Structures are given as C-alpha cells and as structure tokens.
Amino acid sequence: MRPHVAIPSNGFLGRAIAVFSAASAASARIDVRRHPQASDLMRLGIDPSSFPNVTRV
C-alpha cells in the first residue's frame, strides 16, 4: 500500500502531479496482475466498473 501524500489539486502543476501519481500507481498494480484502486482510475478518467472489461489490443 502506498503512503497517503497530500497533493494540491488546484492549479496545473498539482493536477499534473496527481495524474502522474495515479498513472504510476495503476501501472504498478497492473504489472503484478492486481486491479488498480478505483480512486486512481477515476483520476485518470476511467470508469472503475468498466475496467475489468478492458482487453489488450
């Protein structure tokens, strides 16, 4: 489990860091064949309920 770090969500830089953090966390969970956290998927604009239906292209 990753530590909770307060990232400022206002402003471009804060949002960019939050998106990068969510993408990194989701990628790490997928690498070990686990489902990413719903909050990370939502921050990336992915519907968590439809994520299990995603297939590789």
d(CA 31, CA 33): 5
Q: What is the pLDDT of residue 42?
A: 94
Question: Which of 39, 22, 41 is CA-nearest to residue 52?
Answer: 41
Higher pLDDT, 5 or 48: 48
* Neighbour count for residue 22 (Cβ, 10 Å): 21
Enter the pTM of the model.
0.73
Tens digits of residue pLDDT in 3-35: 666 655 578 888 898 899 999 999 999 999 999
- What was the pLDDT predicted at 49? 94
Q: What pLDDT does 1 receive? A: 54
**CA angle 35–40–43, rounded 5-degree value:** 140
pLDDT at 5: 62
